[in-house]
Amino acid sequence: MQEEFSSPYIEESEAILADVLGKPLSGEERKKATIELAQNILKEAKRIQTSKEKRQEKQLAKMMHDPIGKCFTTSMMDECFRSRKKRRIANQLIFLLEQLGVPSYLSFPKRMAFYFFKNLPITALALFVPLLSFMIRKEASSLILPAKKGPLLAHIRKRKAQGVRINLNHLGEAILAEKEAEERVNEYLVDLEKEEIEYVSIKISAIFSQIHLLGWEKTSHLIAERLRMLYRAAIKHPTVDKKGNSVPKFINLDMEEYRDLILTKEIFKEVLEEKEFENLPAGIVLQAYIPDSFEIQKELTHWAKERVKKGHAPIKIRIVKGANLAMEQVESSIRGWKQAPYTAKIEVDANYKKNDPLWIFKRECRSSPYWCCFP
């Protein structure tokens, strides 16, 4: 395994890390080491790129400089395949092609294929929908794993053998109906039964469809009950850690809409405070592009330290920049509200740094033996 990943950039990076490990560094020294490591990561990423990945990278770069093509691609992925009816998909695809045209960033064969589709009658085009769906799935196969358990579990086993831990996250927007929510909960329960799957991420909007903050008690009660089901499954189907110990599987409570921020945090604390889950390690995500995240980070840090003082399990806090900015902008513009996330990247970066648990550890928790929030 060592030979497989051997490269001059990895060796140089290991030497840099070994040289700075345990040493006090000035700001300039830290900056220099960080830049050198970043350069090596980029060089190594370029070195191991396949020809297919290089083609995809060039095409993606062209798309980012093609505003109409970018709009067409996102609209096609978001709108066309929502329906399971081939004629409906074909009709929406024709509408987009008429409104926006064939993207210029695509390769010549792909542009010709879209021109061919565009000139077919709806009935005939519907027959080609499965082919188009197959082409899109094939294009995204290197980035998105199919939910079919065979290929998925094989990939997880392969990565585990390489020492990589997989966080399983089902893609999909917030669900709209309770039947779909129940199906999603059952999917997670089945996932947690699998020996290969040891870490999953969920959103409250994926396990409950009727979130209403004015109906706080009923909403939080129903979400908490479904979260309990998942936590129980994590305990019932443990995994084995690196030391050979049997430990519960890990559930990360992900964050999505600003609307759900406080609700997610309160349900997370409420359920984990119950005696049944006192010894269950669990995680939550905070988004740095939301100003409120820092105060919630401090609240959770204090709560987690008190939890560990009592002899209970630690929690994990994952800090991300935030990935729902466009949706938040639409929501605020429709309702005439001030945008919830920051409007400037420098503010997001500053809040990310401020939320960094290691930075907080140095700033606030240097003397505490109960530090229990991990990046």
Helices (H) and strands (E) in the chain, counts: 16, 7
**CA-CA distances (angstroms) from residue 317 to 30, 144, 289, 325, 374?**
25, 25, 16, 21, 6
Q: What pLDDT score was predicted for residue 288?
A: 92
Q: What pLDDT score was predicted for residue 368?
A: 39
Helix (H, G, I), strand (E, B) or coil at 317: strand
Whether residue 155 is predicted with pLDDT greater than 60 in this model: the reply is: yes
Whether residue 74 is predicted with pLDDT greater than 70 in this model: the reply is: yes
Q: What pLDDT score was predicted for residue 144?
A: 72
- What is d(CA 36, CA 13) in angstroms, rounded to the nearest whole number? 8
What sign has the CA pseudo-torsion 208, 213, 214, 220? positive
Q: Distance between terminal CA atoms of the chain? A: 27
Q: Give the residue-averaged pLDDT of 128-153.
A: 76
- What is d(CA 274, CA 142) in angstroms, rounded to the nearest whole number? 41
Instruction: Tell which wins on pLDDT, 133 or 305.
Output: 305
Q: What pLDDT score was predicted for residue 153?
A: 85
- What is d(CA 56, CA 50) in angstroms, rounded to the nearest whole number? 10
- What is d(CA 234, CA 276) in angstroms, rounded to the nearest whole number? 12
Domain positions in the chain are 8-48, 67-140, 160-364
Q: What pLDDT score was predicted for residue 363?
A: 43
Q: Give the residue-averaged pLDDT of 39-50.
A: 90
**CB-CB contact of 198 with 249 (8 Å):** yes
Q: What pLDDT score was predicted for residue 198?
A: 92
Q: Give the residue-averaged pLDDT of 179-194.
A: 92
Instruction: Tell which wins on pLDDT, 34 or 82.
Output: 34
Which secondary structure element, helix H or strand E, spans residue 253, and what is its range? strand 250-253
Q: What pLDDT score was predicted for residue 356?
A: 65
Q: Whose CA is closest to 304, among 329, 269, 345?
A: 269
Whether residue 190 is predicted with pLDDT greater than 80 in this model: the reply is: yes
Q: Give the residue-averaged pLDDT of 24-42.
A: 88
**CB-CB contact of 192 with 231 (8 Å):** no
Residues 6+ apart with CB under 8 A from 59: 105, 106, 107
Q: Give the residue-averaged pLDDT of 66-81.
A: 84
How far is it between the farthest Cα atoms of the chain? 72
Q: What pLDDT score was predicted for residue 249?
A: 95
Candidate from 105-114, 122-131, 360-369 with smallest mean pLDDT: 360-369
- Looking only at the bridges linking them, the beta strands covering 239-240 and 246-247 are antiparallel
**CB-CB contact of 68 with 102 (8 Å):** no
Q: What pLDDT score was predicted for residue 357?
A: 53
- Residue 313 — pLDDT band, cuts 50, 70, 90? very high
- The domain 160-364 is placed in CATH, from the list 3.30.930.10, 3.40.50.720, 3.30.230.10, 3.20.20.220, at 3.20.20.220
**CB-CB contact of 271 with 224 (8 Å):** yes
- Residue 2 — pLDDT band, cuts 50, 70, 90? very low
**CB-CB contact of 208 with 239 (8 Å):** no
What is the rounded average pLDDT for all residues in the chain? 85
Q: What pLDDT score was predicted for residue 303?
A: 95
